Structure 1
Amino acid sequence: MMLGMRKKVKVLGGVILVFLFSGLLFAWHHGKKVEVEVVEVTRGPLRSIVEATGTVRAVNQNVVVSEISAKVKKVWVKEGDRVKEGQVLLEFDDSELRRQLERAKAAVKFFQAQLEQIQAGARQEEVTQARALVSQAEAAYEQSRQQLVRLRQLFEQQAVSRQQLEEAETNFKIAQEELIRARAQLNLLQEGAQQEALEAAAAQLEQAKAELALLQLNLSRARVLSPISGTVLKKMVTVGTFVPVGTELFVIGDPSRLEILALIHQEDMAGIQVGERVEIEFDSGPERRKIEGWVKKISPAAETQVSSLGLRQAVVPVTVGVNETEGLLPGYRVELNFITADREDVLLVPEDALFEENQNHKVLVVEEGIAQSRLVKIGGTDGNLVEVISGLKEGELVVLDPEKVPAERVSVRVDRKIRL
């Protein structure tokens, strides 16, 4: 009986020793202080910038584009020339347009006469004459067709020039049109002044008039005029060049009134606002010049830009006004510093002292050897220092690299104290 009691006492004593040892180990572990580096919250100036590059351009800059497809016959201006609104900048070769215009005039005249003839009715001799015209047109059509076939074969053999081939194609087209008209005239004379024929003739006349009006408009576009008074900033064409419709020909603007266009990445736009100050730097001869400007306009929509690595990026066009233009010319590339924050005497902590929790910014404040988390409200940043709007006081100590601290309330030992 006594032996059993001794065994129970030994077992109970062993359990107590285990718990006692575990408690001491727990207390030792949790009493161990974490070494940290701290920084003192101080007051000072904060200057935050967004860096970018921009291109100088004239304020009232106009890009003149071709409204027709044609060959450049004459260029009347060069880069740097002063021009007035309405001044001729360029002339296209309009010879083909003039030929088309004459055919269009003839077509209008023909369809006008045709309509009048339908309205008046036809005589037998007119029908006979129309048949003869159809026969002549058929003969001319066949002759021009054979000539075109022959010249195409010779052109493939390089025996004739492209100009000769184009003339044959034009002659064939004219003969084809004349045959169509002759047959239409004969049909109308034979049908008489039926209502359907009258309506068809009237529609043909209207279409011919519309084609004539378009050709007259295109002929007027063969002389390119300056849309504004200014200076030829850029000339993109030379004599003899064939340009399609929509091709850029000139850039006209006033070089005395300049602005800068910058494309700002989407993630950098948060602090940029209209009216903010912008520092501008550029090379002017052997000197490096610095001038000031301001954010003049921010585009309401972003654009897509492909980077040098082939990545698609969202950028926002931002226009910068300049206070002085000496040394600047349209087309110059300049460096820009957008001043998004420029304040004096604000509370500052390093970015490395901040951490996020549930979308809130926090720091670990050290007081009497204990590091404890605290919610803070932050303002601008210069990339290294952050403005603290609320949550801290000057002189308080905050932990650098708080991610290294295992808990939000823990005993710490200051290994190093840094002052900003």
Structure 2
Amino acid sequence: MKPWIKWTSAALAVAVLAGVGLRLAASNKAKKTTLEAQQAALQVPVRLELAPGDLIQARTLDLTRNLPVSGPIKAVNSAFVKARVAGELQGLTVREGDRVQAGQVLARVDATEYQARTRQAQQQAESAKAQVDIARRSFDNNRKLVDQGFISQTALESSSASLAAAEASYRAAMAAADIARKSLDDTVLRAPITGQVAQRLAQPGERVAIDARVLEVVDLNRLEVEASLAAADSIGVQVGQAVRLNVEGSNRSLTGKVARINPSAVAGSRSVLAYLNLDTTEGLRQGLFAQGSIAVGVSRALAVPVSTIRTDKPLPYVQWVQDNKVAHQTVTLGERGEADGVPMVAVTGLAEGSQVLSGAVGALRAGTAIKTVAGSN
């Protein structure tokens, strides 16, 4: 190979290596510049802008302690119409939802048999009355004969006993007639209260037994909630305490008061029943389920909304503003209650007037700078 070819090849190799080296150096410089820019950006403090509603002031408030309760809505006045005598049911026309008045005839039991029994009892009473008349006339005659000396005193006493037996038989017959008439009257079924038919438990033509349920009538003008309380909770509940309830499946809010408290616990569960009167019953129905709370007391304490308490650390804490930065403050939780309808919790370890971040802000790193906002909730 000629010498000039070798020198030319070597020069080209050196030039290529030099170009690659320059390119690598430029790439490293660009990466270094980018990294320095990123580090500089990280060193710039991030200032978080908060809306006025994101800050809540810790204040001393009157906390209403509420006891959760629930139970079915029941009519204060309700009654079952039962058959008082056995027989075929006739004339039943009312159905569920129909309004009835107290004393209104709702149905009848076939009275053929009871009419016959009544006539039989009356006739037996008339027969007993005739026997009394005969015994009385015999007694009067015997008394005259004794006065005249024709019969002995023993005969008069026997006649007196016969009269007493006849009178007793008559009274028994009259009582039997009264019972027969009562059975005849019981064939007519009347509404015991004014209200609406809630259940129809028998049909016309059906033979019903004594005490068989035929209808249920409820009065929706007075409704109450039957709430079951735990034994420990029942101690703090008193008649007259305010109640706030919601009907299940509805946004309707109801108010009322504790009307009565059962003096005995339910066997087995040891729960205590409390009866809650409702201020309004419009649109309500028996059997609906209501849940809410009873205001069982008021306490005054430094409190913050329950939603501001964070539990993602071993101890509960709040996020609050200190020198325009977010700080984490561990707090000790006390009693819970409500203030202006907001669930609150008493806290210690926080100063009065501290600006606490609401729960909607989420978790923030301690030291995060924030923009000062005017006003607070």
Query: Aligning the two structures, in what range does the TM-score lie when normalised by the shorter sequence?
Result: 0.5 to 0.7
Counterpart residue number, 2:52: none
**Letter of the 2:117 counterpart:** Q
Deviation at 1:88, TM superposition (A): 0.6
Residue of 253, 275, 279 corresponding to 1:323: 279
Please, which runs of 5 or more residues in structure 2 have no aligned partner?
1-58, 140-155, 305-333, 338-343, 352-377
Aligned mates of 2:214, 2:66 — CA distance in 1: 38
Partners of 1:380 and 1:199 in 2: CA distance: 82
Partners of 1:302 and 1:278 in 2: CA distance: 22
- Counterpart of 1:52? 69
Counterpart residue identity of residue 115, structure 2: R
Distance (Å, rounded) in 2 between the aligned partners of 1:51 and 1:249:
38
Segments of structure 1 that go 5 or more residues without pairing to the other structure are 1-41, 123-190, 306-311, 349-378, 396-420
1:313 aligns with 2:269: yes
In structure 1, the residue matched to 2:10 is none
Q: Structure 1: how far apart are the matches of 2:271 and 2:180?
A: 42
* TM-superposition CA deviations, 1:342-379 (whole Å, max 9, x none): 5553589xxxxxxxxxxxxxxxxxxxxxxxxxxxxxx9
Deviations 1:80-139 (CA, angstroms, capped at 9, x unpaired) = 1122232111211222222221221121111111222223349xxxxxxxxxxxxxxxxx
In 1, distance between residues paired with 2:173 and 2:138?
22
TM-score by length of 1: 0.49
1:276 aligns with 2:238: no
Hey, what does 2:81 align to over in structure 1? 64
Higher mean Cα deviation, 265-274 or 319-328? 319-328
How far 1:325 moved relative to its partner?
3.4
Report how many residues are paired.
Answer: 245
Secondary structure of the residue aligned to 1:289 is coil
Give the Å deviation of 1:205: 0.9
Tell me the equivalent position of 2:121. Answer: 104
Q: Which residue does 2:355 correspond to in 1?
A: none
Q: Does 1:89 align with 2:106?
A: yes
CA separation of 1:262 and 1:236: change in aligned 2, threshold 3 A? farther
**How far apart, CA to CA, are the structure 2 residues paired with 1:85 and 1:110?**
39
Identity of aligned residues (%): 22
**Residue in structure 2 matching 1:341, options 291, 297, 300:** 297
- Out of 274, 286, 298, the residue aligned to residue 260 of structure 2 is 298
Q: Name the CA distance, whole Å, in 1 between partners of 2:87 and 2:264.
A: 36
Preserved contact between residue 90 and residue 224 of structure 1 (Cα < 8 Å): yes
Q: Which amino acid aligns with 2:183?
A: N
Aligned-partner Cα distance in 1 for 2:61–2:214: 54
Partner of 1:232: 197
Tell me if structure 2 keeps the 8 A contact 1:291–1:324.
no
3-state DSSP of counterpart to 1:120:
helix
Residue 97 of structure 2 is aligned with which of 80, 94, 106?
80
Counterpart-to-counterpart distance in 2, 1:90 and 1:316? 39
Q: What corresponds to 2:47 in structure 1? A: none
1:242 maps to: 208
Tell me the distance in 1 between the aligned counterparts of 2:171 and 2:265.
44
Higher normalized contact order (CA 8 Å, seq sep 6+, divided by chain length)? 1
2:169 paired with 1:207? no
Structure 1 residues 111, 326: closer, same or farther in 2, change over 3 A? closer
Determine the C-alpha separation between the residues in 2 that align with 1:303 and 1:101.
48
User: What SS does the corresponding residue of 2:266 show, helix, strand or coil?
Assistant: strand
| Paired letter, 2:251 | R
With over 3 angstroms needed to count, the CA separation of the structure-2 counterparts of 1:281 and 1:241, relative to structure 1, is farther
Question: Aligned-pair distance for 1:217?
Answer: 1.6
Whole-Å Cα distance in 2 between the matches of residues 244 and 380 of structure 1? 57
- Give the Cα–Cα distance (whole angstroms) in 2 for the partners of residues 264 and 209 of structure 1: 54
Q: Give the distance between the partners of 1:380 and 1:235, measured in 2 at CA.
A: 50
Shift in alpha-carbon separation, 1:315–1:244, aligned structure 2, 3 A? farther
Change in Cα spacing, 1:325 to 1:343, as seen in structure 2 (3 Å) is: farther
Going from structure 1 to structure 2, the CA distance change for 1:327 and 1:83 (only over 3 Å counts) comes to closer
Taking structure 2 as the reference length, the TM-score comes to 0.54
Q: Assess if the C-alpha contact under 8 Å between 2:62 and 2:298 holds in 1.
A: yes
Cα 1:283–1:299 shift into 2, 3 Å: closer
Verify the 8 A CA contact 2:62 2:301 in the aligned structure 1. yes
Residue 223 of structure 1 deviates from its aligned partner by: 0.8
Closer, same or farther: CA 55–216 of 1 in aligned 2, 3 Å: same
| Contact kept in structure 1, 2:262 and 2:274, CA below 8 Å | no
Which of 152, 155, 161 is the matching residue for 1:196?
161
* In structure 2, C-alpha distance between the alignment counterparts of 1:380 and 1:341, rounded to whole Å: 11
CA apart distance, 1:192 = 11
In structure 2, the CA distance between the partners of 1:394 and 1:318, relative to structure 1 (3 Å rule), is same
Match of 1:113 in 2: 130
Rg bigger for which structure?
Answer: 2
Change beyond 3 A, Cα 1:196–1:303? farther
Alignment of 1:249-288 (within 5 A): 249-284=214-249, 288=250
